[in-house]
A and B are shown apart, each in its own frame.
Chain A
Protein backbone atom coordinates (compact mmCIF):
# COMPACT_ATOMS: atom_id res chain seq x y z
CA UNK A 1 0.00 0.00 0.00
CA UNK A 2 1.41 3.36 -1.07
CA UNK A 3 -0.43 5.56 1.37
CA UNK A 4 0.09 5.34 5.14
CA UNK A 5 -3.16 5.66 7.05
CA UNK A 6 -3.30 8.21 9.86
CA UNK A 7 -3.48 6.39 13.19
CA UNK A 8 -6.71 7.48 14.89
CA UNK A 9 -5.92 7.43 18.60
CA UNK A 10 -8.72 8.92 20.67
CA UNK A 11 -8.66 8.74 24.45
CA UNK A 12 -11.90 9.45 26.32
CA UNK A 13 -11.31 10.88 29.79
CA UNK A 14 -13.37 12.52 32.54
CA UNK A 15 -13.24 16.32 32.39
CA UNK A 16 -11.35 16.67 35.66
CA UNK A 17 -8.39 14.67 34.31
CA UNK A 18 -7.66 17.10 31.47
CA UNK A 19 -4.80 18.95 33.13
CA UNK A 20 -3.22 15.77 34.41
CA UNK A 21 -3.26 14.24 30.90
CA UNK A 22 -1.93 17.47 29.37
CA UNK A 23 0.92 17.66 31.88
CA UNK A 24 1.91 14.10 31.01
CA UNK A 25 1.82 14.80 27.26
CA UNK A 26 3.77 18.04 27.60
CA UNK A 27 6.36 16.23 29.67
CA UNK A 28 6.91 13.70 26.92
CA UNK A 29 7.38 16.33 24.19
CA UNK A 30 3.91 16.52 22.65
CA UNK A 31 2.63 19.82 21.34
CA UNK A 32 -0.88 21.10 20.86
CA UNK A 33 -2.26 20.54 17.37
CA UNK A 34 -5.83 21.73 17.77
CA UNK A 35 -8.84 22.05 20.06
CA UNK A 36 -12.27 21.39 18.62
CA UNK A 37 -15.74 21.54 20.12
CA UNK A 38 -18.90 19.74 19.03
CA UNK A 39 -22.51 20.19 20.03
CA UNK A 40 -24.00 17.24 21.89
CA UNK A 41 -27.46 17.10 23.55
CA UNK A 42 -26.08 17.47 27.06
CA UNK A 43 -23.64 20.28 26.22
CA UNK A 44 -20.34 20.14 24.33
CA UNK A 45 -17.85 17.49 23.37
CA UNK A 46 -14.28 18.75 23.60
CA UNK A 47 -11.45 17.29 21.52
CA UNK A 48 -7.83 18.20 22.19
CA UNK A 49 -5.30 16.87 19.66
CA UNK A 50 -1.60 16.64 20.41
CA UNK A 51 1.25 15.66 18.14
CA UNK A 52 4.79 14.43 18.47
CA UNK A 53 6.71 13.59 15.30
CA UNK A 54 3.89 12.10 13.21
CA UNK A 55 1.95 10.52 16.03
CA UNK A 56 -1.25 12.26 17.03
CA UNK A 57 -3.40 11.56 20.06
CA UNK A 58 -6.77 13.17 20.78
CA UNK A 59 -8.17 13.60 24.26
CA UNK A 60 -11.95 13.75 24.46
CA UNK A 61 -14.46 14.56 27.17
CA UNK A 62 -17.92 16.03 27.42
CA UNK A 63 -18.98 19.05 29.41
CA UNK A 64 -22.38 20.45 30.37
CA UNK A 65 -23.63 23.77 29.04
CA UNK A 66 -22.61 25.79 32.06
CA UNK A 67 -19.79 23.66 33.39
CA UNK A 68 -16.30 25.14 33.28
CA UNK A 69 -13.36 23.71 31.36
CA UNK A 70 -9.90 24.54 32.75
CA UNK A 71 -7.59 26.40 30.40
CA UNK A 72 -4.41 24.66 29.29
CA UNK A 73 -2.61 27.92 28.43
CA UNK A 74 -0.28 27.53 31.39
CA UNK A 75 0.98 24.34 29.72
CA UNK A 76 0.88 25.31 26.03
CA UNK A 77 0.91 29.10 25.64
CA UNK A 78 -0.46 28.91 22.11
CA UNK A 79 -3.69 27.26 23.34
CA UNK A 80 -5.20 30.68 24.04
CA UNK A 81 -6.19 31.08 20.39
CA UNK A 82 -8.16 27.82 20.25
CA UNK A 83 -9.76 28.48 23.61
CA UNK A 84 -10.87 31.97 22.59
CA UNK A 85 -12.24 30.54 19.34
CA UNK A 86 -14.32 27.91 21.14
CA UNK A 87 -15.52 30.41 23.70
CA UNK A 88 -16.62 32.85 20.99
CA UNK A 89 -18.17 30.38 18.54
CA UNK A 90 -19.68 27.81 20.93
CA UNK A 91 -19.92 29.60 24.25
CA UNK A 92 -17.93 26.98 26.14
CA UNK A 93 -17.01 28.33 29.56
CA UNK A 94 -13.20 28.12 29.68
CA UNK A 95 -11.60 29.25 32.91
CA UNK A 96 -8.27 30.92 33.60
CA UNK A 97 -7.14 31.57 30.04
CA UNK A 98 -3.76 33.31 29.97
CA UNK A 99 -5.04 35.61 27.22
CA UNK A 100 -8.80 36.18 27.21
CA UNK A 101 -10.14 38.40 24.44
CA UNK A 102 -13.51 38.52 26.24
CA UNK A 103 -15.59 37.46 23.27
CA UNK A 104 -13.91 39.89 20.87
CA UNK A 105 -11.65 37.47 19.02
CA UNK A 106 -14.35 36.55 16.49
CA UNK A 107 -16.17 39.60 15.16
CA UNK A 108 -19.18 37.75 13.78
CA UNK A 109 -22.94 38.23 13.85
CA UNK A 110 -24.77 36.84 16.83
CA UNK A 111 -23.59 35.36 20.09
CA UNK A 112 -21.97 31.92 19.87
CA UNK A 113 -23.09 31.30 16.27
CA UNK A 114 -21.90 27.68 16.17
CA UNK A 115 -23.70 26.60 19.34
CA UNK A 116 -26.79 24.43 18.98
CA UNK A 117 -30.00 25.66 20.50
CA UNK A 118 -30.14 24.59 24.13
CA UNK A 119 -33.03 22.53 25.45
CA UNK A 120 -35.59 24.90 27.00
CA UNK A 121 -34.89 23.71 30.52
CA UNK A 122 -31.20 24.62 30.08
CA UNK A 123 -31.66 27.99 28.34
Chain B
Protein backbone atom coordinates (compact mmCIF):
# COMPACT_ATOMS: atom_id res chain seq x y z
CA UNK B 1 0.00 0.00 0.00
CA UNK B 2 1.39 3.40 -0.92
CA UNK B 3 2.08 5.89 1.81
CA UNK B 4 2.08 9.66 1.40
CA UNK B 5 4.78 11.74 3.01
CA UNK B 6 4.66 15.49 3.50
CA UNK B 7 8.03 17.22 3.34
CA UNK B 8 8.33 20.94 4.07
CA UNK B 9 10.46 22.65 1.42
CA UNK B 10 11.63 26.00 2.77
CA UNK B 11 11.27 28.66 4.01
CA UNK B 12 14.92 27.94 4.88
CA UNK B 13 16.57 25.74 2.26
CA UNK B 14 20.19 25.70 1.02
CA UNK B 15 19.13 26.22 -2.59
CA UNK B 16 16.70 29.06 -1.96
CA UNK B 17 17.93 32.64 -1.97
CA UNK B 18 14.64 33.70 -0.42
CA UNK B 19 12.18 32.13 2.01
CA UNK B 20 9.72 30.31 -0.22
CA UNK B 21 7.65 27.62 1.49
CA UNK B 22 6.01 24.56 -0.04
CA UNK B 23 4.63 21.47 1.64
CA UNK B 24 5.46 18.69 -0.80
CA UNK B 25 3.16 15.68 -0.75
CA UNK B 26 5.13 12.65 -1.95
CA UNK B 27 4.56 9.05 -2.78
CA UNK B 28 8.03 7.52 -2.56
CA UNK B 29 10.15 10.05 -4.52
CA UNK B 30 7.32 11.32 -6.70
CA UNK B 31 5.55 14.58 -5.97
CA UNK B 32 1.78 14.35 -5.86
CA UNK B 33 1.06 17.89 -4.78
CA UNK B 34 2.79 21.08 -3.71
CA UNK B 35 1.01 23.34 -1.23
CA UNK B 36 2.37 26.88 -1.11
CA UNK B 37 2.28 29.09 1.94
CA UNK B 38 3.33 32.71 2.02
CA UNK B 39 3.61 35.17 4.85
CA UNK B 40 7.08 34.46 6.22
CA UNK B 41 8.29 37.93 5.22
CA UNK B 42 4.97 39.56 4.34
CA UNK B 43 5.22 43.33 4.88
CA UNK B 44 1.82 44.65 3.88
CA UNK B 45 3.32 47.27 1.56
CA UNK B 46 0.06 47.55 -0.37
CA UNK B 47 -1.67 48.84 2.76
CA UNK B 48 1.13 51.27 3.53
CA UNK B 49 -0.02 53.38 0.58
CA UNK B 50 -2.88 54.63 2.77
CA UNK B 51 -0.37 56.30 5.09
CA UNK B 52 2.30 57.71 2.76
CA UNK B 53 2.16 60.69 0.46
CA UNK B 54 1.63 59.37 -3.07
CA UNK B 55 4.82 61.08 -4.31
CA UNK B 56 6.91 59.60 -1.50
CA UNK B 57 5.42 56.15 -1.95
CA UNK B 58 7.64 55.66 -5.04
CA UNK B 59 10.47 54.89 -2.64
CA UNK B 60 8.35 52.31 -0.83
CA UNK B 61 7.30 50.74 -4.16
CA UNK B 62 10.98 50.44 -5.10
CA UNK B 63 11.56 48.45 -1.94
CA UNK B 64 9.05 45.75 -2.85
CA UNK B 65 12.01 43.86 -4.26
CA UNK B 66 15.76 44.34 -4.38
CA UNK B 67 16.20 42.96 -7.89
CA UNK B 68 13.44 44.64 -9.87
CA UNK B 69 13.43 47.65 -7.58
CA UNK B 70 13.56 50.21 -10.38
CA UNK B 71 10.75 48.57 -12.33
CA UNK B 72 8.48 48.44 -9.29
CA UNK B 73 9.01 52.16 -8.76
CA UNK B 74 8.46 52.82 -12.45
CA UNK B 75 5.28 50.71 -12.64
CA UNK B 76 3.83 52.61 -9.70
CA UNK B 77 4.79 55.95 -11.29
CA UNK B 78 3.24 54.92 -14.62
CA UNK B 79 -0.09 54.16 -12.93
CA UNK B 80 -0.07 57.45 -10.97
CA UNK B 81 0.99 59.40 -14.08
CA UNK B 82 -1.99 57.91 -15.90
CA UNK B 83 -4.33 59.08 -13.16
CA UNK B 84 -2.72 62.55 -13.10
CA UNK B 85 -2.55 62.81 -16.94
CA UNK B 86 1.17 63.60 -16.69
CA UNK B 87 3.14 63.55 -19.94
CA UNK B 88 6.60 62.18 -19.14
CA UNK B 89 9.38 63.73 -21.32
CA UNK B 90 10.89 61.44 -23.96
CA UNK B 91 14.38 61.66 -22.48
CA UNK B 92 13.04 60.36 -19.17
CA UNK B 93 11.31 57.48 -20.99
CA UNK B 94 14.62 56.51 -22.63
CA UNK B 95 16.46 56.71 -19.31
CA UNK B 96 13.79 54.51 -17.72
CA UNK B 97 14.30 52.02 -20.54
CA UNK B 98 18.07 52.06 -19.97
CA UNK B 99 17.68 51.28 -16.27
CA UNK B 100 15.03 48.63 -16.96
CA UNK B 101 17.37 46.78 -19.31
CA UNK B 102 20.36 47.05 -16.97
CA UNK B 103 18.07 45.59 -14.28
CA UNK B 104 17.08 42.78 -16.63
CA UNK B 105 20.70 41.87 -17.40
CA UNK B 106 21.69 41.92 -13.74
CA UNK B 107 18.62 39.90 -12.75
CA UNK B 108 19.21 37.23 -15.41
CA UNK B 109 22.92 37.00 -14.52
CA UNK B 110 21.95 36.66 -10.88
CA UNK B 111 19.60 33.84 -11.84
CA UNK B 112 22.24 32.08 -13.99
CA UNK B 113 24.59 32.15 -11.01
CA UNK B 114 21.97 30.81 -8.62
CA UNK B 115 20.99 28.08 -11.07
CA UNK B 116 24.63 27.04 -11.52
CA UNK B 117 25.07 26.99 -7.75
CA UNK B 118 21.92 24.86 -7.39
CA UNK B 119 23.23 22.13 -9.65
CA UNK B 120 26.68 22.27 -8.10
CA UNK B 121 28.61 24.14 -10.79
CA UNK B 122 30.49 26.53 -8.51
CA UNK B 123 32.82 28.24 -10.96
CA UNK B 124 29.96 28.90 -13.38
CA UNK B 125 28.12 30.55 -10.50
CA UNK B 126 31.14 32.76 -9.81
CA UNK B 127 31.64 33.58 -13.49
CA UNK B 128 27.99 34.68 -13.79
CA UNK B 129 28.16 36.91 -10.76
CA UNK B 130 31.48 38.41 -11.86
CA UNK B 131 29.72 39.72 -14.98
CA UNK B 132 26.79 40.89 -12.87
CA UNK B 133 29.13 43.02 -10.76
CA UNK B 134 30.07 45.01 -13.86
CA UNK B 135 26.38 45.74 -14.52
CA UNK B 136 25.91 46.80 -10.90
CA UNK B 137 28.86 49.16 -11.33
CA UNK B 138 27.07 50.78 -14.29
CA UNK B 139 23.90 51.12 -12.25
CA UNK B 140 25.86 52.67 -9.40
CA UNK B 141 27.58 55.10 -11.73
CA UNK B 142 24.29 56.28 -13.24
CA UNK B 143 21.99 56.26 -10.20
CA UNK B 144 24.23 56.26 -7.12
CA UNK B 145 22.70 53.00 -5.87
CA UNK B 146 23.46 49.38 -6.66
CA UNK B 147 20.23 47.79 -5.46
CA UNK B 148 17.74 50.57 -4.78
CA UNK B 149 18.17 53.11 -7.58
CA UNK B 150 15.98 55.89 -6.18
CA UNK B 151 15.99 57.48 -9.63
CA UNK B 152 12.33 57.28 -10.67
CA UNK B 153 9.68 59.79 -9.67
CA UNK B 154 6.14 60.63 -10.64
CA UNK B 155 6.56 62.66 -13.84
CA UNK B 156 9.97 61.42 -14.95
CA UNK B 157 13.34 60.54 -13.46
CA UNK B 158 15.51 62.23 -10.84
CA UNK B 159 18.89 61.93 -12.53
CA UNK B 160 20.17 62.57 -16.00
CA UNK B 161 23.01 60.59 -17.54
CA UNK B 162 25.51 62.50 -19.67
CA UNK B 163 26.60 61.42 -23.14
CA UNK B 164 30.10 60.37 -21.98
CA UNK B 165 28.70 58.00 -19.39
CA UNK B 166 26.22 56.56 -21.88
CA UNK B 167 29.06 55.99 -24.34
CA UNK B 168 31.11 54.30 -21.62
CA UNK B 169 28.23 51.96 -20.80
CA UNK B 170 28.01 50.86 -24.44
CA UNK B 171 31.79 50.29 -24.59
CA UNK B 172 31.66 48.30 -21.36
CA UNK B 173 28.79 46.16 -22.65
CA UNK B 174 30.68 45.57 -25.91
CA UNK B 175 33.73 44.45 -23.95
CA UNK B 176 31.54 42.10 -21.87
CA UNK B 177 30.15 40.40 -24.97
CA UNK B 178 33.00 37.90 -25.21
CA UNK B 179 32.68 36.75 -21.60
CA UNK B 180 28.88 36.70 -21.77
CA UNK B 181 29.16 34.55 -24.89
CA UNK B 182 31.50 32.11 -23.12
CA UNK B 183 29.12 31.96 -20.19
CA UNK B 184 26.18 31.31 -22.48
CA UNK B 185 28.11 28.55 -24.29
CA UNK B 186 28.62 26.66 -21.04
CA UNK B 187 24.93 26.87 -20.16
CA UNK B 188 23.87 25.84 -23.65
CA UNK B 189 26.47 23.14 -24.41
CA UNK B 190 27.68 21.66 -21.14
CA UNK B 191 26.57 18.08 -20.61
CA UNK B 192 26.08 18.49 -16.83
CA UNK B 193 23.83 21.50 -17.29
CA UNK B 194 21.78 19.72 -19.94
CA UNK B 195 21.53 16.64 -17.75
CA UNK B 196 20.01 18.62 -14.89
CA UNK B 197 17.75 20.88 -16.95
CA UNK B 198 16.74 19.27 -20.26
CA UNK B 199 13.40 17.48 -20.20
CA UNK B 200 12.80 18.45 -16.55
CA UNK B 201 9.73 20.38 -15.42
CA UNK B 202 7.97 20.61 -18.77
CA UNK B 203 5.15 23.16 -19.02
CA UNK B 204 3.04 22.86 -22.17
CA UNK B 205 2.08 25.91 -24.21
CA UNK B 206 -1.61 25.42 -23.37
CA UNK B 207 -0.98 25.11 -19.62
CA UNK B 208 1.42 28.06 -19.61
CA UNK B 209 -1.23 30.26 -21.22
CA UNK B 210 -4.26 29.07 -19.28
CA UNK B 211 -2.55 28.95 -15.89
CA UNK B 212 -1.50 32.57 -16.32
CA UNK B 213 2.27 32.03 -16.47
CA UNK B 214 4.32 35.09 -17.35
CA UNK B 215 7.83 36.06 -18.45
CA UNK B 216 10.47 33.48 -19.38
CA UNK B 217 8.24 30.75 -17.89
CA UNK B 218 5.59 31.59 -20.52
CA UNK B 219 7.93 32.35 -23.41
CA UNK B 220 9.94 29.13 -22.87
CA UNK B 221 6.70 27.24 -23.57
CA UNK B 222 6.33 28.89 -26.93
CA UNK B 223 3.96 31.78 -26.14
CA UNK B 224 5.19 35.00 -27.69
CA UNK B 225 4.11 37.54 -25.09
CA UNK B 226 6.26 40.35 -23.75
CA UNK B 227 4.62 43.48 -22.31
CA UNK B 228 7.46 45.61 -23.65
CA UNK B 229 5.78 45.18 -27.03
CA UNK B 230 2.85 47.21 -25.67
CA UNK B 231 5.24 50.14 -26.05
CA UNK B 232 5.43 51.64 -22.59
CA UNK B 233 8.51 53.75 -21.65
CA UNK B 234 10.63 54.10 -24.82
CA UNK B 235 10.10 50.57 -26.14
CA UNK B 236 7.96 51.97 -28.94
CA UNK B 237 11.14 53.48 -30.39
CA UNK B 238 13.25 50.34 -30.04
CA UNK B 239 13.53 47.41 -32.45
CA UNK B 240 13.51 44.00 -30.82
CA UNK B 241 11.84 40.61 -31.18
CA UNK B 242 10.21 38.64 -28.40
CA UNK B 243 12.49 35.79 -27.32
CA UNK B 244 10.69 32.44 -27.29
CA UNK B 245 11.64 28.77 -26.99
CA UNK B 246 9.42 25.76 -27.50
CA UNK B 247 10.86 23.13 -25.14
CA UNK B 248 8.88 24.26 -22.09
CA UNK B 249 11.42 22.64 -19.78
CA UNK B 250 13.99 24.04 -17.34
CA UNK B 251 16.57 24.15 -20.13
CA UNK B 252 14.26 26.24 -22.37
CA UNK B 253 13.68 28.69 -19.51
CA UNK B 254 17.45 29.06 -19.10
CA UNK B 255 17.84 29.62 -22.86
CA UNK B 256 15.22 32.37 -22.87
CA UNK B 257 17.05 34.24 -20.11
CA UNK B 258 20.43 33.83 -21.81
CA UNK B 259 19.06 35.17 -25.10
CA UNK B 260 17.36 38.03 -23.28
CA UNK B 261 20.69 39.13 -21.80
CA UNK B 262 22.10 39.55 -25.31
CA UNK B 263 18.88 41.24 -26.42
CA UNK B 264 19.03 43.73 -23.53
CA UNK B 265 22.58 44.68 -24.55
CA UNK B 266 21.29 45.48 -28.05
CA UNK B 267 18.34 47.45 -26.63
CA UNK B 268 20.68 49.56 -24.49
CA UNK B 269 22.80 50.30 -27.55
CA UNK B 270 19.68 51.55 -29.35
CA UNK B 271 18.65 53.61 -26.32
CA UNK B 272 22.02 55.33 -26.26
CA UNK B 273 21.94 55.94 -30.00
CA UNK B 274 18.40 57.35 -30.02
CA UNK B 275 18.00 59.17 -26.70
CA UNK B 276 16.78 62.72 -27.33
CA UNK B 277 17.77 65.80 -25.37
CA UNK B 278 15.43 67.78 -23.17
CA UNK B 279 13.89 67.66 -19.74
CA UNK B 280 13.97 64.59 -17.57
CA UNK B 281 10.78 65.27 -15.62
CA UNK B 282 7.60 67.29 -15.54
CA UNK B 283 6.33 68.73 -12.31
CA UNK B 284 3.24 66.86 -11.18
CA UNK B 285 1.05 68.82 -8.81
CA UNK B 286 -2.35 68.24 -7.30
CA UNK B 287 -3.86 65.15 -5.74
CA UNK B 288 -4.67 61.95 -7.63
CA UNK B 289 -8.38 61.46 -8.27
CA UNK B 290 -9.30 58.38 -10.24
CA UNK B 291 -7.81 55.00 -10.96
CA UNK B 292 -5.48 53.31 -13.43
CA UNK B 293 -3.78 50.06 -14.27
CA UNK B 294 -0.21 49.87 -15.56
CA UNK B 295 1.86 46.90 -16.67
CA UNK B 296 5.59 46.43 -17.09
CA UNK B 297 7.72 43.50 -18.19
CA UNK B 298 10.03 42.69 -15.32
CA UNK B 299 12.87 40.15 -15.69
CA UNK B 300 10.49 37.54 -14.23
CA UNK B 301 7.54 38.60 -16.36
CA UNK B 302 4.54 40.86 -16.45
CA UNK B 303 3.85 42.89 -13.30
CA UNK B 304 0.56 44.73 -12.92
CA UNK B 305 0.00 47.87 -10.86
CA UNK B 306 -3.34 49.35 -9.90
CA UNK B 307 -3.80 52.64 -8.06
CA UNK B 308 -6.91 54.46 -6.97
CA UNK B 309 -6.81 58.01 -5.68
CA UNK B 310 -9.57 59.82 -3.82
CA UNK B 311 -8.40 63.40 -4.23
CA UNK B 312 -6.21 63.38 -1.13
CA UNK B 313 -2.44 62.92 -0.90
CA UNK B 314 -2.99 59.34 0.24
CA UNK B 315 -4.02 56.74 -2.29
CA UNK B 316 -7.01 54.60 -1.44
CA UNK B 317 -5.61 51.39 -2.91
CA UNK B 318 -2.40 50.16 -4.46
CA UNK B 319 -2.31 46.68 -5.89
CA UNK B 320 0.71 44.85 -7.32
CA UNK B 321 0.34 41.54 -9.09
CA UNK B 322 3.92 40.33 -9.23
CA UNK B 323 5.22 37.85 -11.81
CA UNK B 324 6.26 35.23 -9.27
CA UNK B 325 2.73 35.18 -7.83
CA UNK B 326 1.33 34.67 -11.33
CA UNK B 327 3.77 31.81 -11.95
CA UNK B 328 2.92 29.81 -8.82
CA UNK B 329 -0.08 27.90 -10.33
CA UNK B 330 2.11 26.87 -13.29
CA UNK B 331 4.93 25.91 -10.93
CA UNK B 332 2.60 23.69 -8.86
CA UNK B 333 1.34 22.08 -12.06
CA UNK B 334 4.90 21.39 -13.22
CA UNK B 335 6.03 19.98 -9.87
CA UNK B 336 3.36 17.28 -9.85
CA UNK B 337 4.82 14.01 -11.07
CA UNK B 338 8.46 15.12 -10.76
CA UNK B 339 10.97 13.60 -8.35
CA UNK B 340 12.04 15.26 -5.13
CA UNK B 341 15.62 15.74 -6.36
CA UNK B 342 14.40 17.91 -9.25
CA UNK B 343 12.39 20.29 -7.05
CA UNK B 344 15.20 22.81 -6.46
CA UNK B 345 15.95 23.09 -10.18
CA UNK B 346 12.32 23.42 -11.18
CA UNK B 347 11.61 26.07 -8.56
CA UNK B 348 14.73 27.97 -9.49
CA UNK B 349 13.90 27.99 -13.18
CA UNK B 350 10.81 30.11 -12.55
CA UNK B 351 13.25 32.50 -10.87
CA UNK B 352 11.04 33.03 -7.82
CA UNK B 353 11.18 36.37 -6.10
CA UNK B 354 9.63 36.05 -2.68
CA UNK B 355 10.12 39.68 -1.72
CA UNK B 356 7.83 40.52 -4.65
CA UNK B 357 5.34 37.82 -3.77
CA UNK B 358 5.23 38.82 -0.11
CA UNK B 359 4.99 42.55 -0.87
A33 touches B321 (CB 8 A): yes
What is the 8 Å Cβ interface bit string for chain B, positions 309-327, against chain A (1 contact, 0 not)? 0000000110101000110
Complex interface: chain A residues within 8 A of B47 (CB): 113-114
User: Given that A36-B306, A106-B39 are known contacts, is A8 also in contact with B82, CB under 8 Å in the complex?
Assistant: yes
Per the 8 Å Cβ criterion, residues 1-39 of A in contact with B are 2-6, 8, 31-34, 36, 38
Interface residues on chain A, size class: 20 to 34
Query: Quick one: which of B210, B237, B294 contacts A77, CB cutoff 8 A?
Result: B210
User: Given that A77-B211, A107-B39, A114-B47 are known contacts, is A3 also in contact with B304, CB under 8 Å in the complex?
Assistant: no
Complex interface: chain B residues within 8 A of A105 (CB): 36-38
B: number of interface residues (CB 8 Å): 48
Q: What's the minimum C-beta distance from B6 to chain A, rounded to whole angstroms?
A: 13
Chain A residues engaging chain B, CB cutoff 8 angstroms: 2-6, 8, 31-34, 36, 38, 47, 49, 53-54, 56, 58, 76-78, 80-81, 101, 104-108, 113-114
Interface of B is mostly: mixed
Complex interface: chain A residues within 8 A of B231 (CB): 2-4
A selection of 8 A-B contacts at a CB cut-off of 8 Å is A6-B232, A33-B212, A33-B304, A38-B308, A76-B210, A80-B329, A81-B36, A105-B36
CA distance A31 to B218 in the complex (A): 13
Q: A2-B234, A3-B93 are in contact. List 14 more A-B contacts (CB 8 A).
A: A2-B237, A6-B78, A6-B292, A8-B82, A31-B209, A31-B210, A38-B308, A38-B317, A56-B295, A104-B37, A105-B37, A108-B42, A113-B44, A114-B44
Q: What's the minimum C-beta distance from A10 to chain B, rounded to whole angstroms?
A: 8
| Smallest CB gap from B33: residue in A | A99
Q: What's the minimum C-beta distance from B350 to chain A, rounded to whole angstroms?
A: 13
CA distance A54 to B343 in the complex (A): 33
